[in-house]
Structure 1
Amino acid sequence: MKFNNAEDTIQLSPLWQGERFPDGRPKVPSSVLGRLGRITLEEAWGPLWSRGYHYQFEGDLKIIHPDKVMVGRAVTAVMVPKRPDLHDTLLNYGHEQEDRRGFFNQWVIDSLEEEDVVVIDMFDKIYQGTYVGGNLSTAISTRTKTGGAVIWGGIRDNQQITQIENINVYYRGSDPTAIADVTMVGMNVPARIGRAVCLPGDVVLGTPAGVIFIPAHLAELTATHAEKSQVRDVFGFARLNSRTYTTAQIDAAWTTAMWQDFMQWFETDKAAAAYRHLTWEHELEEARRNENSGPSSDVRL
């Protein structure tokens, strides 16, 4: 086997048609990451759930900076309990055949790029399952600039990590012991974080509610759907406050008159300025069809 094999990683993400890193991971554009960083977890969840991606969210995690949003591209690894023959074989292979240095967790962190998030399936091990401490978290900060880590296991040196402001870390628990008796069996392979599945190159969106893993090929679509939902809510709140419409009207399928009102607001109100890259031809056409064919429901994703 090979650790971080580009051919294997490319095979895992055939629906991605864009640029890739040398290790094969999809490289979702920084502009899309920025857009996803401004939406809520629920807004990201909707488009994924409606497309059959039901195992992308995990909320049962502690957070180093619970008031900060984290977004980045996933670098994954899977750890298992130590079995001596397997452990020695894989550790020696990495050292001798791939010229890697140190322990398994250092190999992963040494591979990180800017805007990456390391995602580790540590089989929920906390005692002697501390994947990062102060030193490796500092390395994550230096390499990723704005990323962080999601660890289905433990961390140590919490007080030191808390002082690192530019990244975030999601984890199951903390312990003063160092990492021990674990073996990495895959790097940039599918990883399970609780009830969620993460592939290398997924966009990791971490919020106070937990983390969601957005498949790379759905990242821009998710951003667009989420932003449309967000800006419609901004408009809806404004019109509810002015008593222009009732909640029933806002929550139902909009009439063409309501869409015309929205478009005038969208093109002129400063509250909509950040959303003006969005287009609405499909929604306007759907409203016209609905009025011509009678009442129908509007499913907002």
Structure 2
Amino acid sequence: MDSGFRDSIPVSDKVLEMLKQCGQGTLTTQLFKRGYRQQFLVGLAPLSPTTGRFAGEAFTLRFIPSREDKDWNLEDLHKRGADNLQWEAIEAIGPGQVLVIDSRNDPRAASAGNMLLTRLMRRGAVAAITDGAFRDGTEITAMPIPAYCRANTASTRPAYHRAVGINEPIGCADVAVYPGDIVVGDSDGVTVIPRHVAAEVAADALEQERREAFLFTKIDAGAPLWGTYPANAETMAEFEAQRSKGMPS
């Protein structure tokens, strides 16, 4: 299933680069201002402590509970087709996309391991996210692709999960994710941005980052919160004066 969002609402590389410069708190604040209460994937963390920033469009994969008559024979699961939509998804993902897996918040079995994430990386994907667990955590931690999960486990996927849907709306960490949504992550976590507001969020979030960098210097120098954060008219005038003198933008 293809949402069609990617064709109707283009998101430029410039917008993605702007989003990558913004922290998770800034992005969620901008989304909150637009009426989006909770777009942060609570409870998910990167396997690697040196995870860098990324931004890309969501490519989704949905799991349901496995069942013995469907997910018992590993040889069948390694054949192409409907019984192995997990691998079909890996082979279908495109450059710049983010694999987002709905594992029903269940970390008892792995959503993927280092082999699949390596193939994902070679396909040009920029990150992998599950609200369950990954396996091969030691190997994945050393890989350059950011990988977010609830836990690391050794249990194979068919023990608890069956892949049943590719590129359809899912829930990940109790956040609705639609194919083509813009997913932004860093070492603090991941935020999902509805595609149609990505450009305006990017512009306002980057401006907020610049303003708050200035406000932090004032707070760090001993200024009180009142009148500084948020900035009153006097503080904003000081910020604009600093910017007109060539403050980094």
Give the TM interval when normalised to the shorter protein: 0.7 to 0.9
Matching residue of 1:172: 150
Q: Is the 8 A contact 1:55 1:197 kept in 2?
A: no
For the Cα contact (< 8 Å) 1:236–1:250, is it kept in 2?
yes
1:132 to 85, 101, 112: 112
Distance of 2:101 and 2:95 partners within structure 1: 18
Computed over aligned residues only, the root mean square deviation of the Cα atoms, in angstroms, reads 3.0
Determine if the alignment matches structure 1 residue 209 to structure 2 residue 192: no
Paired position in structure 2 for 1:250: 228
- The alignment partner of 1:58 has SS state of coil
Aligned length: 242
State whether residues 227 and 235 of structure 2, in contact with CA within 8 Å, keep that contact through their aligned partners in structure 1: no
Given the superposition, is the C-alpha separation of residues 170 and 263 from structure 1 closer, same or farther in structure 2, using an over 3 Å criterion? Answer: same
1:267 and 2:244 aligned: yes
| 1:247 to partner: Cα distance | 4.2
Query: What's 1:162 paired with?
Result: 141
8 Å Cα contact 2:48/2:142 also seen in 1: no
Letter in 2 for 1:139: R
2:208 maps to 229
Whose helix fraction is larger, Structure 1's or Structure 2's? 1
Instruction: State the partner residue of 2:65.
Output: 81
The alignment partner of 1:66 has SS state of: coil
Partner of 1:275: none
Aligned to 2:184, the other structure's residue is in SS state: strand
In the alignment, the residues of structure 1 paired with residue 111 and residue 231 of structure 2 have an alpha-carbon distance, to the nearest angstrom, of 49
Give percent identity, aligned residues only.
24
Deviation, 1:123, is 1.6
Q: How far 1:64 moved relative to its partner?
A: 1.5
Counterpart residue type for residue 250 of structure 1: T
Deviates more, 1:78-87 or 1:28-37: 78-87
Q: Specify whether residues 214 and 49 from structure 1 end up closer, same or farther in structure 2 by C-alpha distance, changes over 3 A only.
A: same
Cα deviation for residue 152 of structure 1 reads 1.5
TM-score by length of 1: 0.70
Match 2:123 to one of 100, 123, 143? 143
**C-alpha distance 104-254 of structure 1, shift in aligned 2 (>3 A):** same
Q: Deviations over 1:237-259 (max 9, x none)?
A: 4456678x76433235643x655
CA deviation profile, 1:260-286 (whole Å, cap 9, x unmatched): 5433322332422xxxxxxxxxxxxxx
Shift of 1:41: 0.4
Match of 2:87 in 1: 106
1:188 aligns with 2:167: yes
The verdict on how the C-alpha distance between 1:258 and 1:180 changes in structure 2, with shifts beyond 3 A counting, is: closer
Describe the shift of the 1:27–1:159 C-alpha distance in structure 2 as closer, same or farther (beyond 3 A).
farther
Range 130-139 or range 51-60, more displaced: 51-60
TM-score using structure 2 length: 0.83
State the one-letter code of the partner of 1:125. Answer: D
* Structure 2 unaligned blocks of 5 or more: none
Q: Distance in 1 between matches of 2:104 and 2:82?
A: 24
> Helix, strand or coil: the match of 2:106?
strand
CA distance in 1, matches of 2:82, 2:106: 23
Q: Which has the higher contact order (CA 8 A, sep 6+)?
A: 2
Q: Which of 71, 81, 84 is matched with 2:55 structurally? A: 71
Alpha-carbon distance in structure 2 between the residues aligned to 1:79 and 1:44: 28
- Segments of 5+ residues of structure 1 without an aligned counterpart are 14-18, 273-301
Q: 1:131 & 1:215 partners in 2: Cα distance?
A: 24
